[in-house]
Chain A
Amino acid sequence: MVRLESRGDVSRAWSLLSPVVAIVLTLISGVVIFSAMGKDPGLALYTYFVQPLTTAFGVTELLVKATPLVLIGIGLSIGFRANVWNIGAEGQFTIGAIVGGGIAIAFHDSDNFLLLPVVMIGGILGGMAWGAVPAFLKTRFNANEILTSLMLTYVAVLLLSYLVHGPWRDPDGYNFPESRLFPAAAMMPVLWEDSRLHLGAALAVLAVVGGWVILSRAVIGFQLRVVGQAPAAAKHAGFSQNKLIWFSLLLGGGLAGLAGVAEVAGTIGQLLPSISPGYGFTAIIVAFLGRLHPVGVLLAGLIMALSYIGGEVAQIEIGLPAAVTGLFQGILLFFLLGCDVLTHYRIRFGAPGRARGS
């Protein structure tokens, strides 16, 4: 009989050790899976986890892939702490890209250096506007934000599809569903020569710092934590639940919008019918994997990005089907999430006995 026994407090050592345990378990399952697939497990694990990190290209691509995950993840983690379940970041990301990209397309002749800031602010405002809808429906009509934000995601993606198939189609593009290319003045500067590492990555790091400041230094961060952990106490203290809902959704939406505009103005350079491989949803995992802590979100975003890139490299180098890489990613997440229990509890085998001090 497996039993969990409360440690009473969070174990510092185990909060660092539990991911290590999880990764060791993942490696062991990796050996089993890859051997079963008839691949050399050592080589497979090497291509998956190490090879992407051995080139400057791999490292910069890892950061490019992690950028939207971290940006969105920071925003979501702050909202999740206050039990505001914004799962529509994918839609806010898309609207951010639409608004920012729309500005870039409208001024496609411009070489004004102010264009990029305007595009970025447009993206942030777009994401905030899309986050404001569930906030309004929640505070005014009590409509569940899980549902409204999810539904709005579909609406946003269809809106993008309409725009690139219709009014925003590249006039010289033979009616194919793509916008024209953004002007150079609307593109984010590249931080590392000969790579795609763009300004967005620096903004993601800034978001991590900002998130940390909000949570540990600002009054609203304190309120968010109290509401999340002790709603009754928060009510007693007179915190406005509505204010926190608005704050969470605007912040989450704004960061998702920024991620969206960073993706189109940082890497793609135009609007396409599909601009996100599900960043908004993956970022939810990233937020929880990071234990809703800004630094944790950063690390989780990097691990998640590595698992995607590693999957691609494994397909190229050793012909592992995409299905296996998805399966493996799922297992990695299961272990990471499951092992987190060790930070609060110790595992005991055998008959239940009283935990010390309880």
Chain B
Amino acid sequence: MDFVPVILTVITASTPLLFAATGELVTEKSGVLNLGVEGMMLVGAIAAFAVASTTGSGLAGIVAGAAAGTVMASVFAFLTLTMLANQVATGLALTIFGIGISALIGAGFVGFALEPLPKLAIPVISDIPVIGPILFGQDILVYLSFVMILAVAWFLSRTRPGLILKAVGESHDSAHALGYPVIAIRYAAVLFGGAMSGLAGAYLSLAYTPLWAENMTAGRGWIALALVVFATWRPGRVVLGAYMFGAITILQLHAQGWGIEIASQFMSMLPYLATILVLVLISRDKTKIRLNAPQCIGKVFHAAH
């Protein structure tokens, strides 16, 4: 059997997870937990689809998806950072809101077809057998997903603003005492997370399955949230986790085609059980987790003066 198309399928299944998890990673590193990823993805998906199908420009669609995700995140940021609302509940409410508003906007776009985003094949090297189509024959968003996670990894570990962002997530009180604008930094991190979720949605409605249908994210936002914890807030492991999850999902579909006779429900459980297993394996060393987990996650910050 030819493995190249299988790997290509894994890439498309993993890309939306990678986008959303990258965004949530930055949000959480700043000490904010936004459970509204699913809702932001849906709004990103419909915005991207609506703009791309109206203007005929995939690029405009991508920008619209990111922008819509950012707008959704700004609602969350205002409520949790300015109005100090509970982050867990607000995130869940954001998802309810996102499902509703995306369905409302999308009502006029049901049944529309769209050309999938073009593959940006790099001449010559994309013709190299096996690695050519995998590494150099993807659409722009797949490349962008890797650019973003690399940029985030670099930003968090090598730049001063990145270190400040982590410091805010570690201890907002100390960061505030040192004179850093805690709230402004968190706003930026939450909005970035929204933009990434928007891109994840845009990937779904422009490239993965170029169509709009209500609730088309089908739970991927929740998986992305789980991936961040699974990755113990490390960018490298986010990539690993997203691709492992994508691979297991695809492999269980293939396994059925090979005639492996296990009830399909048990096959569908595999990605979730595997996630738990890997999490247990990497969590046993408590100090390692502590090093990476933002200590202030989910906690409300308000400067006394």
Task: Indicate whether A and B are direct neighbours in the complex (CB within 8 Å).
Answer: yes
- For this complex, 7 residue pairs linking A to B, each with C-beta atoms less than 8 Å apart, are A142-B283, A147-B279, A150-B226, A158-B269, A285-B93, A321-B104, A330-B98
Expressed in whole angstroms, the Cα–Cα distance for A251 and B225 within the complex equals 25
B96 at the interface (CB under 8 A from A): yes
Within 8 A of B (CB), among A311-358: 321-331, 333-334, 337-341, 344-345, 352, 354-355, 358
Expressed in whole angstroms, the Cα–Cα distance for A115 and B26 within the complex equals 52
Residues of chain B within 8 A of A144, CB atoms compared: 229, 279, 283
A2 at the interface (CB under 8 A from B): yes
Interface-facing stretch out of A52-60, A161-169, A235-243, A261-269 = A161-169
Within 8 A of A (CB), among B260-305: 263, 265-266, 268-269, 272-273, 275-276, 279-280, 283-284, 286, 289, 302, 304-305
Whether the Cβ atoms of B272 and A155 lie closer than 8 Å is yes
Interface-facing stretch out of B13-21, B78-86, B125-133, B163-171 = B78-86
Binding site for B on A (CB under 8 A): 2, 4, 6, 85, 87, 137, 141-144, 146-148, 150-152, 154-155, 158-159, 161-162, 165-166, 281-282, 284-285, 287-289, 321-331, 333-334, 337-341, 344-345, 352, 354-355, 358
Distance between B245 CB and nearest chain A CB, rounded to angstroms: 11
Q: Which residue of A lies closest to B275 (CB)?
A: A151
B88 at the interface (CB under 8 A from A): yes
Given A6-B304, A288-B88, A334-B90, is A147 in contact with B280 using a C-beta cutoff of 8 Å? Answer: no
Given A151-B273, A166-B263, A355-B305, is A326 in contact with B86 using a C-beta cutoff of 8 Å? Answer: no
Q: Point out the residue from A137, A288, A329 that lies within 8 Å of B89, measured CB to CB.
A: A288
B100 at the interface (CB under 8 A from A): yes
Excluding A2-B82, A147-B226, 18 further A-B contacts by CB distance (< 8 Å) are: A4-B84, A6-B302, A141-B284, A144-B283, A150-B225, A151-B272, A155-B269, A158-B265, A159-B265, A326-B99, A326-B103, A334-B75, A337-B83, A338-B83, A340-B85, A341-B83, A341-B84, A345-B84
Residues of chain A within 8 A of B75, CB atoms compared: 334
Whether the Cβ atoms of A288 and B86 lie closer than 8 Å is yes
Given A143-B276, A288-B86, is A324 in contact with B286 using a C-beta cutoff of 8 Å? Answer: no
Q: Which residue of B lies closest to A337 (CB)?
A: B85
Expressed in whole angstroms, the Cα–Cα distance for A345 and B266 within the complex equals 50
Residues of chain B within 8 A of A4, CB atoms compared: 82-84, 302
Distance between B172 CB and nearest chain A CB, rounded to angstroms: 15
Q: Which residue of B lies closest to A331 (CB)?
A: B97
Q: Range of interface residues on chain B?
A: 35 or more
Q: Which residue of A lies closest to B84 (CB)?
A: A341
* Chain A interface main SS type: helix
Residues of chain A within 8 A of B185, CB atoms compared: none
Q: Point out the residue from A150, A282, A324 that lies within 8 Å of B222, measured CB to CB.
A: A150
Given A143-B279, A147-B279, A288-B88, is A327 in contact with B226 using a C-beta cutoff of 8 Å? Answer: no
Q: Point out the residue from A151, A323, A331 that lies within 8 Å of B276, measured CB to CB.
A: A151
Whether the Cβ atoms of B263 and A327 lie closer than 8 Å is no
Expressed in whole angstroms, the Cα–Cα distance for A345 and B90 within the complex equals 18
Residues of chain B within 8 A of A147, CB atoms compared: 226, 229-230, 275-276, 279
Give the total number of A-B pairs whose CB atoms are below 8 A apart.
148
Distance between A139 CB and nearest chain B CB, rounded to angstroms: 12
Residues of chain B within 8 A of A285, CB atoms compared: 89, 92-93
Distance between B191 CB and nearest chain A CB, rounded to angstroms: 17
Whether the Cβ atoms of A142 and B93 lie closer than 8 Å is no
B122 at the interface (CB under 8 A from A): no
Distance between B70 CB and nearest chain A CB, rounded to angstroms: 17
Which 7 pairs show the lowest CB-CB distances between chains A and B? A330-B97, A326-B100, A288-B89, A327-B100, A323-B103, A333-B93, A162-B265
Within 8 A of A (CB), among B78-124: 79, 82-86, 88-90, 92-94, 96-101, 103-104, 107
Expressed in whole angstroms, the Cα–Cα distance for A199 and B284 within the complex equals 43
Q: Point out the residue from B88, B276, B305 that lies within 8 Å of A284, measured CB to CB.
A: B88
Given A141-B280, A146-B229, A337-B85, is A329 in contact with B265 using a C-beta cutoff of 8 Å? Answer: no
Q: Point out the residue from B82, B273, B275, B284 that lies within 8 Å of A142, measured CB to CB.
A: B284
Q: Point out the residue from A146, A155, A333 that lies within 8 Å of B273, measured CB to CB.
A: A155
Given A147-B229, A155-B272, is A284 in contact with B104 using a C-beta cutoff of 8 Å? Answer: no
Residues of chain A within 8 A of B98, CB atoms compared: 330
Expressed in whole angstroms, the Cα–Cα distance for A2 and B229 within the complex equals 34
Q: Which residue of A lies closest to B82 (CB)?
A: A2
Whether the Cβ atoms of B104 and A137 lie closer than 8 Å is no
Q: Point out the residue from B79, B104, B225, B283 that lies within 8 Å of A334, measured CB to CB.
A: B79
Expressed in whole angstroms, the Cα–Cα distance for A321 and B148 within the complex equals 38
Distance between A136 CB and nearest chain B CB, rounded to angstroms: 10
Q: Which residue of A lies closest to B80 (CB)?
A: A337
Q: Point out the residue from A154, A324, A341 that lies within 8 Å of B100, measured CB to CB.
A: A324
Expressed in whole angstroms, the Cα–Cα distance for A214 and B94 within the complex equals 32
Distance between A54 CB and nearest chain B CB, rounded to angstroms: 26
Q: Point out the residue from B89, B103, B225, B289 that lies within 8 Å of A289, measured CB to CB.
A: B89
Residues of chain B within 8 A of A345, CB atoms compared: 84, 302
Residues of chain B within 8 A of A282, CB atoms compared: 92
